[in-house]
């Protein structure tokens, strides 16, 4: 599965499927890597394992601790 959230990653883990993240603010680079490196590795059976774990770690590092929508709920709407 290709996704951009922890929820997608968790759903994939629950069924034992492969996951590739599209990173926030790095979408173009994420898709480039998917097409040039990840897809060939996946087709050859080399993606799941180290490559998948490293990709998922990059997703977790790229996400804010508190998502913007939750921050607004906590602090209230901000003036422009």
**pLDDT values of the chain reduced to their tens digit, one per residue, 80 residues:** 999 988 999 999 999 999 999 999 999 999 999 999 999 999 999 999 999 999 999 999 998 887 777 776 666 666 66
What is the maximum alpha-carbon separation in the chain?
51
d(CA 31, CA 16): 23
pTM reported for the whole predicted model: 0.77
| Residues 18/12, Cβ–Cβ less than 8 Å | yes
């Amino acid at each position: 599965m290709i996704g951009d959230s922890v929820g997608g990653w968790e759903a994939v883990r629950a069924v034992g499927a492969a996951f590739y993240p599209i990173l926030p603010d790095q979408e173009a680079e994420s898709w480039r890597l998917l097409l040039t490196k990840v897809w060939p590795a996946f087709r050859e059976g080399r993606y799941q394992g180290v490559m998948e774990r490293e990709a998922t770690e990059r997703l977790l590092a790229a996400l804010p601790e508190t998502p913007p929508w939750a921050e607004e709920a906590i602090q209230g709407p901000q003036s422009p």
